[in-house]
Structure 1
Amino acid sequence: MTRDIAKDISRIPTLIGSEMPNQVCVRCLYDISIPGVTFDVDGQCSYCALHDRMDIQYPTGTRGELALEKMVDTIREAGRGKEFDCILGVSGGCDSSFLAHEMVRRGLRPLAVHFDNTWNSPIATNNIYTVLDQLEVPLETLVVDNGEYDDIYRAFIESGVRDLEAPTDIGFMATLYMAAERHGIKYIVEGHSFRTEGVSPLGWLYMDGRYIR
């Protein structure tokens, strides 16, 4: 979760709480069992309110294009005199592949970084190399020790925690930050959309790096 989004959460108007058993949001599937959820007088949950707030803060269309152009200019200026303008996280999926194309189209010089947990599908691996080769974007990859990583995931499964993907999420972000520090790069870019993913309740998530020691 970015710092801006975290601020958004604190700015959302206080909603009228409800202790009604089995209350379900009139707009989505969340109910009273979700940690920290509240409902307004119309029966809409606080997560839908958060989504609407973010929808305004991160617009699409003309306003979104203007904001994107401004950010591209900022990233380009920060990279002046350096080999790269920014770090680009890549996975071989649609989001990061499109983002790589879009960044190059807009004149940025990204360094692609990939966290390989040894579970990549052949299609994802092929996508990474095909896209980056066509765009002439250099790639750095961190490959984990397969045995050690299996032990980490076994520990997560046996502990019964809900967020089993945390090791990969933490490893991915750590790899991006390490690359940025190594190359003296200020900006990190990665592709996802809160409109289509990232919908897990905050009470189900725990992204503290102390999870992995």
Structure 2
Amino acid sequence: MIIKTSKYHPKLFSDRPYQMCSKTVMDTTDVNIYFDEDGVSNHYFEYKKEAETQLLKEPERTKALNETLDQIKANGNGKRYDCLIGLSGGVDSSYVAWLVKQYGLRPLAVHLDNGWNSELAVHNVNNIIETLGFDLHTIVVNWEEFRDLQLSYLKASVIDIEVVSDHAIQATMFQLASKFNIDYIISGTNIVTEYILPSSWIYPKLDFTNLSSIHKKFGSYKLKTYPHVPFYKYIRYTGFQKLKPFSILDYVDYNKKDVLPILENKLGWRNYGGKHCESLWTKFYQNYILPAKFGVDKRKAHLSTLVCSGQMTREAALKELEKPIYDKEELANDTEYVLKKLVLSQNEFEAIMNTPPIPHEFYGTHAHYKKYYKFLLDTTKPIRKAFKK
């Protein structure tokens, strides 16, 4: 059987025989997947290794959590905030907000308004901020600049269009950490619900060289206000002024079925009905553009992680994949809305969808800068150590 990766490009990843992991629902739509003699994929073994080495057992887990919380509070003593949290209004970030309140932290919440928020997302974010009493910094991007960047990525035919949003969020996090002298960012990334995500489906978010090259080739508007991290700032933020990440969900029992009632009852949170559907753009991108053009169904990665963590059976995951990824009527309405907002005709959009995918690296990366940066870090390590003391 030959893998059919895309309705537009059915042989995009060559004539590789189709195979699905016997333990998860990951398959050869991930071009880098490989299997052992029993048909078990690398994703299963990589998850198990990560879970065994990074997910602590009790009482060590609670001890490590408390030690980190004490360190965050100590570092934030006398400051306006002791940590940053991202707040999209989705399950993970909303539960992080709930937890940091319970643990007595003083976060600055950061939210991106890129013009694609659903009304439900706005409702959830506002409810959370009002209920928990947090300060909120909202990144309101210039729509013409942001739209121009999204169109550039569509025309470039690269897979990770979400770089446009994620880069702006990370750039703003760095700026706020510098402004308020914040040492920690508490994120919703976690092992048990989202560890599996093939590298071939995403691209590094902080590669501004790649972003600016794509925009220079396909864009029209000058990026005057778009939050970004050029490489000299990348050096500053990652080498000299590090923002320490803390994945708090890895230090608690995190099962979404148990978490949803808490969010609904305590925060007035309302469900979107799908992962990342708080953003109308992300919903359309993940549920239509990725499957139709790139042959990527992100549900496979998400469901496979839940299978590995024991939150779902493989049989239930397979049944979930049998469901349509998009309701036909809903897709038609969303397509009309997206094209109108982007000022794209149906013909222009079809032309974009029919353009063969192109690797991000084709447009240039900051890899060569990172090579010299690593050399600089290695050679200046003694000096930086002495300066720290």
Q: How does 1:11-26 map to 2 (within 5 A)?
A: 21-26=17-22
Aligned length: 194
- Do structure 1's residue 69 and structure 2's residue 46 form an aligned pair? no
Query: For structure 1, which segment, 180-189 or 190-199, has the greater mean C-alpha deviation from structure 2 after superposition?
Result: 190-199
Shift of 1:154: 0.8
Higher relative contact order (CA 8 A, sep 6+): 2
Runs (4 or more) in structure 1 with deviation over 6 Å come to none
- Give the TM-score normalised by structure 1: 0.81
Shift of 1:96: 1.4
CA RMSD of aligned residues (A): 2.1
Shift of 1:81: 2.0
Shift of 1:66: 3.2
CA distance in 2, matches of 1:99, 1:35: 33
**Deviation sequence 1:52-76 (CA, Å, 0-9, x none):** 1221233276344333222212211
Could you tell me which residue of structure 1 aligns to residue 25 of structure 2?
A: 29
Amino acid at match of 1:37: I
CA distance in 2, matches of 1:175, 1:79: 19
* 8 A contact 2:109–2:136 mirrored in 1: yes
SS in 1 for 2:194: coil
Amino acid at match of 1:49: F
**Deviation sequence 1:148-175 (CA, Å, 0-9, x none):** 1111111111111111212112222222
Picking from 98, 102, 105, the partner of 1:101 is: 98
- Do structure 1's residue 112 and structure 2's residue 118 form an aligned pair? no
Could you tell me which residue of structure 1 aligns to residue 43 of structure 2?
A: 47
Structure 1 unmatched runs, 5+: 1-19
Q: How does 1:1-213 map to 2 (within 5 A)?
A: 21-32=17-28, 34-59=30-55, 62=58, 63-197=60-194, 199-207=196-204, 208-213=207-212
Amino acid at match of 1:204: W
**Deviation sequence 1:4-62 (CA, Å, 0-9, x none):** xxxxxxxxxxxxxxxx9444321123345633333234332111111112212332763
CA distance in 1, matches of 2:166, 2:209: 13
Amino acid at match of 2:128: V
- Give the TM-score normalised by structure 2: 0.46
* 8 A contact 1:163–1:205 mirrored in 2: yes
* 8 A contact 1:113–1:179 mirrored in 2: no
CA distance in 1, matches of 2:182, 2:85: 11
Distance change (3 Å), C-alpha of 1:95 and 1:32: closer
* 8 A contact 2:47–2:196 mirrored in 1: no
SS in 2 for 1:26: coil
